[in-house]
Structure 1
């Protein structure tokens, strides 16, 4: 078991970092959605999704 861990330590570290980054991105997206923020920074006048993005 120790031999396998030491042989794959680099892969394990990179995987943990990637999982943490993806988790933080998902957390931020959920938090922004709950606060009513949009991911786009443009006006909604010409947006095809203008009726669904900002429901009130």
Structure 2
């Protein structure tokens, strides 16, 4: 019972950390793609100013 609670807490902490990092990166102007636009289907829409 205690082990289940501890493992659940660890997993929830990791998920929260990942979500917070994604939000911070997006607020700082970093996208999820890393601007590798050569083969990207969204290259005309995503990061126009960086990927000309």
The answer to whether TM tops 0.5 is: yes
User: Where does the alignment leave 5 or more consecutive residues of structure 1 unmatched?
Assistant: 1-7
> Which structure has the bigger radius of gyration?
1
User: Where does the alignment leave 5 or more consecutive residues of structure 2 unmatched?
Assistant: none
Q: TM (normalized to structure 1)?
A: 0.71
How many pairs are equivalent?
A: 48
State the Cα RMSD in Å.
1.9
Which residue is 2:17 aligned to? 24
Q: Deviations over 1:7-28 (max 9, x none)?
A: x000000000000000000000
Q: TM (normalized to structure 2)?
A: 0.75
Runs of 4+ aligned structure 1 residues displaced above 3 Å come to none
